[in-house]
Amino acid sequence: MLKATYQTRGPVPQDLIEAVPFEKPELQAGQVLLEMLAAPINPSDVLTLTGQYGILPPLPAIGGNEGVAKVIEHGPGVSSPPVGQTVLLPVGIGTWASHMVADAAGLVALPNDVDPIQLSMITVNPPTASLMLSEFVDLKPGDWVIQNAANSGVGSYLIALAKIQGIKTVNVVRRESLVEPLLALGADVVLVDGDDLSGQVKQATGGVDVKLAIDAVGGSATARLGEVLSEGSMLVNYGAMSGESCVMPPTVIIFKDITIKGFWLAKWFQTSTPSQQQELYVYLIGLIAKGQLSAPVHGTYHLKDIKQAVALAASGQRNGKVVMVKE
- Together in a domain, 164 and 113: no
pLDDT at 318: 78
pLDDT at 274: 86
Q: Look at residue 273 and give its three-state secondary structure.
A: coil
Domain-located, residue 274: no
The CATH number for 137's domain is 3.40.50.720
Active-site residue among 6, 53, 157, 301?
Answer: 53
The CATH number for 299's domain is 3.90.180.10
Domain-located, residue 91: yes
Q: Which residues of the chain have pLDDT under 70?
A: none
- Together in a domain, 171 and 71: no
Q: How many domains is the chain built from?
A: 2
pLDDT at 54: 84
CA distances in angstroms from 151 to 32, 135, 253, 295, listed in the order given: 37, 22, 27, 10
Note the residue count of the chain. Answer: 327
Say which residues have a Cβ less than 8 Å from residue 240's Cβ, sequence separation at least 6: 216, 217, 218, 219, 246
Domain-located, residue 289: no
Domain-located, residue 281: no
The whole-angstrom separation of Cα 36 and Cα 30 is: 19
pLDDT at 121: 94
Alpha-helical regions (H) of 51-196: 116-119, 125-134, 153-165, 179-185
- Together in a domain, 261 and 135: yes
- Together in a domain, 191 and 62: no
The whole-angstrom separation of Cα 167 and Cα 163 is: 6
pLDDT at 194: 94
- Together in a domain, 215 and 140: yes
CA distances in angstroms from 55 to 47, 100, 266, listed in the order given: 10, 21, 9
| Catalytic (active site) residue 157 | no
- Together in a domain, 113 and 231: no
Domain that holds residue 243: 129-266
pLDDT at 92: 85
DSSP 34-64: EEEEEEEE-HHHHHHHHT-SSS-PPSSEE--
- Together in a domain, 138 and 251: yes
Query: What region, left, alpha or beta, does residue 224 occupy, with left being phi > 0 and alpha being psi -120 to 50 degrees?
Result: alpha
- Together in a domain, 236 and 252: yes
The whole-angstrom separation of Cα 279 and Cα 325 is: 28
